[in-house]
Amino acid sequence: MKIRFDRAQLYYPSVAVFCALASLALGWSSYAGRFNGSFYDFYFRRRGPQPPLEDIVLVTIDDETLARYGALPLDRAVLAQGVRAIEEAGPRLLALDLLLSEVSSSPSDSALQEALAGSAPVVLATALEASETGKWLHPLPIFAGNGAAIGHVHADPDSDGVSRRVLLEKRSGRERRWALALECARLWLGAAQEPVTEADEALEIPRSRDSGNVLQVFSTRTNGRALLINYAGGNGMFAQIGFASLLNRPELRQQLAGKMVLLGVTAQGAGDRLFTPFSAGIGMPGVEIHANVLHTLLTGKYLRPAGDLEVALAVLGIAAVAAWILARFYGLPLVILLAGLGALVLGVPYQLFLRGQVWPAFSLLLPFGATTLLCGAYQLLLARSQFDESEARRRRSQRQFEMAAHEIRTPLTAIQGSSELLLRYPLDDAKREQMIRLISEESERLGKLVERFLSVERLSAGEIELRRAPLDLSALLVATVERVRPAAESKGIRLVREGAFTETEIEADAELLEFAISNLVTNAVKYSPTGTSVTLALERDGDRALLHVSDTGPGMTAEESRRIFDRFYRTESARSSDAPGFGLGLAIAREIACHHGGDLRVESRPGEGSRFTISLPARAAAKRKNHITH
C-alpha cells in the first residue's frame, strides 16, 4: 500500500479538531436533535416488532363502543358495567387511562365507585391542568378512595411530535406523582406500599415486600427521570378486547384472568394519539403507549443514552481517524478505508441500539462528513496546485530544452562548417590554422555549456554535497573581486565599495560560493558601459548577511526580472550585445544561495541598472574591517 507524502502536517489535525468542535456544537442543538431522532426511529423500524409481554391486556373504548353507548366521555354507569366485568374476570390489577376529576350524575358516580371497590387493585389517572397554576386533576375523592395508586398520564413528545420517552415523575409545587405505568409495575411486583429508592442514575423498585430483590429502572435525576420507551412495535401489538365486546360477549372475559388490564380510549376521533417511532401516518393511542412503557419496565430492556463525554470522545476520534486516512492514503486504499469508516459510523450505533445503548447517529456522522469534505476539498486544491506546478515545470523544461538545443546548435554549426571546409577545400596554412582554432574555441565553448548545464541539474537534484566550513564572507568577496579586477580595468570600469566591509562569519562551501559571487561581479562588469562603475556592499540584517552587487547596465523590465534566474534565459539587451553567455550562470548562483539556506534576488528598472543581492545566514557578530580602497 502506497503512502501519501504529508505536505501539511498541521492542516489535517487542525481540521479534525475544528470539525469535532463544530460537530459537538451542532450535535447538541435542536436542529441535530431532529436528525438524531430520525435515525433513532429508523433503528426501531429496522429492528422490527418484538414479542409483547403477554401479561398486558388492553380493554379499549373503540369506535364500536362509542357507536353503541354514545360519545365521549362515556356515561359512568356504562363505565361501571365494564369495570365490574373486568373485576369479575379476576385480573391482577386494573389501570384506568381516564380522568375522573369531574362530577357526573350521582347514580352513575355511585355505580362506578362500587365497581372500583372490587377485588383487583386499581390504578387511577391524574394529569396537570393546562394553566399557569398547573393544578393536578386528581380523581374525585369517591373514586380515589377505592384506588390503590394514582399515576400521571402526561406525554412528553419531542419537538417533532414523536413520543420517544416518558417522564417517570411529574411535579407541581410540592406534590409529585409517578407515571401510571410505574405505579402499575409497583403493584404487579407486589410492593406498592414500599418506597421507591431514588439514586442519581436509577430508580429501585422492590419486587416484593420480603424478597429483598429490586427492579432497577435506569432513569437519571439530571434528565428529569426520563425513560426512553422501548416500543414492542406499532399499533395493535398488545392483546386487545373492545369495551363493547367485553360487555356483550362474556366468553372474552376469561382472557383477563391474572393479567394487567389497561382500560383506555382508542377511538379515532378521541384525539388521544401520539406519533411513535413505528408510526406510519397514524398515531398510537395513549393507552397503548402506557402499555409499551409498562412493557419496558417489566422486561428490563432499557435504552440508555450515551453520556456526553462518551459522545465527545467518539466525535473527536471519528474526526481524527478520517483526517488520518485522508492525510496518509490515496487512490483505492483511500476509498476503501473511508467507506469502511463510514460503514462503521453508520452501523455501530445500530448494533449498540440493539444492545440497549442509544448513540446520536447524526452527531457521529457530522465529524465524518465535515472532515471528509474539508480535507477532500483541500486535497483537490492541492492536487490542482501540484498539477499546475507540474505543468509549469514541464513547460519550463521544454523551453529550457529548446534553449539548450539552440545554444548547442551554434557551436556545433561552427564546428561542422569548419570541418567541412577543411575536408573539402585545399586551404593555405593560415586559413587552416584559423579553422582549427575556431573548432577548438567552439569545442571548448560547447564543453563549458554542457558542464554548466549539468552543474545546474546536479544542484537542483541535490547531488552536489556542500563542503561547509566557517569562512569570512568579506574576505571571500575581496578575493573574488581581485580576480575580476583586471577584466574590469581593461574595460574602464571601477569596482567601488559602498561603506566599510565588516568581517562576517558564515558557514559555507567556499568554492561554490566564490563561483556565485564571481558570476554576479563578472556579469555586472560584462553588461555595464565603459567608464561606469560596479558597486559592492556587504551588510548585516539581523541574523542574515546581505551581499549587494549593483551595476549601471541597461536594466530589466519586470518580466525580465521575473525570468532572469531561469535556465538559458537571457534578456533582450544581453542577446543583442556582444557579451558571450549561456543564460546559466545566474541559475547556478541562485541554486548555490538556496542550498546554503539563503536566496538570490534582483531589483532592476529599464535604463537604471540592476542590483543583485545574495542573502545568507550569518554566524557571528560583524567587526568593521576595510578591504577595498576607492
Q: Among residues 257, 239, 238, 245, which one has the least CA distance to residue 86?
A: 257
Domain 469-624 class? alpha beta
Residue ranges in the chain modelled with pLDDT below 70: 1-9, 209-212, 396-411, 413-414, 445, 448-464, 500, 576, 578-582, 620-630
Closest CA to 230 of 291, 178, 310: 291
pLDDT of residue 409: 62
Helix (H) or strand (E) holding 82: helix 76-88
**CA-wise closest residue to 545 among 609, 510, 501, 585:** 501
pLDDT the model gives residue 183: 94
| 0.75 exceeded by pTM | no
> Three-state DSSP class for 376?
helix
Q: Which three cell numbers stand for residue 549?
A: 552587487
DSSP 102: S
Residue 22 exposure: Cα atoms within 13 Å on the Cβ side? 15
Q: 79-102 burial by CB neighbour count: b if 16+ within 10 A, else e? A: bbbbbbbbbebebbbbbbbbebbe
The CATH class of the 1-41+309-464 domain is: mainly alpha
What is 105-121 written as a DSSP string?
Answer: -HHHHHHHHHHHTSSS-
Q: What cell numbers appear for 141 in the block?
A: 375523592
Number of other CB atoms surrounding residue 368 within 10 Å:
22
Cα–chain center distance at 530: 66
CA–CA–CA angle 82, 86, 92 (5° rounding): 150
Residue 330: per-residue pLDDT:
84
Q: How far is CA 58 from CA 79, 236, 291, 429, in A?
A: 15, 10, 8, 130
What one-character-per-residue DSSP string does 541-568 give?
ETTEEEEEEE--S----HHHHHHTTSTT
Kind and range of the H or E run holding 535: strand 533-541
d(CA 177, CA 125): 10
**pLDDT of amino acid 596:** 86
Three cell numbers written together for 93:
390489577
Q: How far apart are CA 546 and CA 352, in angstroms?
A: 66
CB 293 within 8 A of CB 229: yes
- Which grid cell is 11? 492542516
At 290 the pLDDT is 97
Q: What's the confidence (pLDDT) of residue 169?
A: 94
What residues contact residue 314 under an 8 Å CB cut-off, 6+ apart? 306, 359, 364
How many CA atoms does the CB half-sphere of 553 hold within 13 Å?
28
Which sequence spans correspond to the domains of the chain?
1-41+309-464, 48-194+225-301, 469-624
**Beta strand pairing status for 260-265 and 56-61?**
parallel
**Identity of the residue numbered 243:** F
Phi, psi of 216 (to 5 degrees): -90, 125
Strands (E), 30-142: 56-61, 93-96, 122-126
Residue 285 to residue 60: CA distance in whole angstroms: 10
Output DSSP code: residue 55. Answer: T
Q: pLDDT value at position 20? A: 87
Give the CB-side neighbour count of residue 419, counting CA atoms within 13 A.
10
